[in-house]
Amino acid sequence: MKLRLLYQCAIVTSLAITSALTFAQEVKRPNFVWIISEDNSSHYLKHFSENGINTPNISALAESGLTFDNAYSNSPVCSVARTTLATGVYAPSIGTQFHRADAKLPQTDNIKLFQSYLSQNGYYTTNNAKTDYNVVADEQQGWHQSSKQASWRDRNNANQPFFHVETHHDSHEGRLHFKNEQYQQEVKPETLADINVPDYLPDTQLSRFTYQKYLQKMVSIDGKVGTTVEKLRNDGLLEDTFIFYFGDHGGVLPRSKGYLFDAGLRVPLVVHVPKNFKHLVNAEAATRVQGTVEFVDFAPTLLTLAGIELPTHIDGKAFLGENVSLDEVNSRDESIAYADRFDEKYDLVRSIKKGNFRYVRNYQSYLPNGLQNNYRNRMLAYQEWRKLHKQGKLNAVQSQFFNPKPVEQLFDTSKDPHEVNNLAADPKYKQLLTNLRERLHTRLLDLPDLGIYPESYLIRYGMPNIQEFAQKNKAHINKLFAIADLSLLPFEQAKPKLKKALQSSDPMQRYWAVTTAINFGKKANTLLSSIKTLANDPEVTVRIRVAEYFGVIGHGEPQQILTDIVNSTLYPTVAAEAFNAIVFLHDFSEGKYPADVKNLKPKIKGRGIN
């Protein structure tokens, strides 16, 4: 009797499993296509901005779906933005905030590139063809195909759902690296009258031509979008496929890509909602969504639409899905952004955008935004801007780029879309400023934000278990941010705590004490005797900061300290950090501290992890 009962139970169980498997096979799931254009903010499309150009194919997608008027990258540069997209995790919490650092994904939380979860759950995944994840990972991770030939058409089973990504370079900043001869041949002054350049740029013929040329690049991108949509239509897949068109971050005129302003972060985002999966989206066609979405939200959105349980480590929040309310999405009004090293240019900037107000925290405020970046300065418009600055031909707004930054900035983007009128010192905005400062501070500590450590220090002491390092050092990170925030106080009030931190046995406390002193500029020359003792500090990053402090207050031979570091270090990132200081002093010390290139003889070359 017992055997018969067990046998019957086994049959019932087997039938249930078979039924479940059959149901799973029969349930149709949506396809996903991401069409990504490089380096363009929403400002270049008339669908988003009156100064943009018509993009009929992108606008047609919006008619059958949604326009997101407040979509933001979390970083204004490609590899860091792509890390955030690919993981659904804020980059500074896993040590991937440095541009093309080739960091390793933390293993403690089993973080994967999110297409892996789609692949593991039956999706055919293809990438055509840019990876640039900013992490050391098998470039095929999660992809069935990743190449210039990758296509959903290569899947063996026509009923298999797919995720396809294609990235288009027509809008990349490199397309504006034209030579003067080309400019002279192509420019037609009579066509430039209606071009409106941002007021932080010099309004010159070259600036207008550069803007005009870039608008034509967006026409090319629109054509690529139309081609992909037509392929899906011809394959009978259009109404089974969510199509996301978006930019990989902002750009690309000067002071956009690489900087934490709307021009560097606000991206065009349009989503085609397929008729066969309308039930997954709680909004009518042609709706313009006003809620804030950010790149960290994209991975959980696709996983939610695919019916896949979200991994616990994901930071973002889905903005589409059967149980995602449009009213709730529209209530979202906050995004954060981060800027660290982009190519050879180091800085540490964090930002929070809440509603129409952007708060920017410049942790190295003594560094101008206009610090040299070799790739960026291939653009003639950048070269002209610098030349006019040196000639004294810029107004106060146009000169901001080449001056030290305020420690804090606050902009009302509804009245000041180009973010040039800093409201941080206006008493009317004191309460708002304090609120945004505290909100950003809390967010950074919650991550926790590893950007408080120099890149070379993280490599030497935080790798390879970067997330374990972050969790162990939460209290330490909090303490370092507290020292950095002494920059927010009047100098005489900050001075006693700075002196104490300068004498700390902790090298990172000494590092941030010197950094904060530099932010105060010549007000901090009364700390000279305390900081001079650190000129031979055992921690090399402290010595780099001491040299910058000497340069800012006008003491000693800071370039010699930096030259000695470059010529002796075996760490590429240490050399890069020292070179950043050398260039800063060379370009912004009014000729007092020129770099002597003949004496620079580094033992190592290249970038990345030693």
The answer for residues whose C-beta is within 8 angstroms of residue 209's C-beta and 6 or more apart is 183, 186, 187, 192
Q: Angle at CA 525, nearest 5°, toward 521 and 527? A: 115
- Out of 78, 283, 305, 578, the active site residue is 78
First to last CA, the chain: 70
- Do 538 and 569 touch, CB atoms closer than 8 A? no
Q: How many CA atoms lie within 13 A of 487 on its CB side?
A: 25
- Do 117 and 101 touch, CB atoms closer than 8 A? no
Verify whether residue 9 is a known catalytic residue.
no
- Do 238 and 280 touch, CB atoms closer than 8 A? no
The DSSP secondary-structure symbol of 53 reads: B
Q: Angle at CA 306, nearest 5°, toward 169 and 124? A: 60
**What SS3 state is found at 279?**
helix
Residue owning tokens 């972060």 = 265
- Do 112 and 142 touch, CB atoms closer than 8 A? yes
Q: Where are the beta strands (DSSP E) in 169-296?
A: 241-247, 266-272, 287-289, 293-294
Cα–Cα distances in angstroms (integers) from residue 5 to residues 9, 12, 74, 479, in the given order = 6, 11, 59, 66
Query: Which residues, in sequence order, are bridge partners of residue 266?
Result: 72
- Do 78 and 39 touch, CB atoms closer than 8 A? yes
The DSSP secondary-structure symbol of 208 reads: H
Beta strands 293-294 and 162-168 are unpaired
Indicate the Cα dihedral angle 478, 480, 481, 484, nearest 10°.
160
- Do 91 and 84 touch, CB atoms closer than 8 A? yes
Query: Which residues, in sequence order, are bridge partners of residue 272?
Result: 65, 243
Token pair for 452 = 């408080």
Token pair for 41 = 């903010």
Query: Which residues, in sequence order, are bridge partners of residue 287?
Result: 66
Output phi, psi for 410, to 5 deg. Answer: -135, 125
Quote the CA–CA distance of 563 and 123 in Å, as a whole number: 53
Token pair for 342 = 């982009």
- Do 610 and 570 touch, CB atoms closer than 8 A? yes
Residue positions counted in the chain: 610
What single-letter amino acid sits at 31? N
Which residues are identified as catalytic?
A: 78
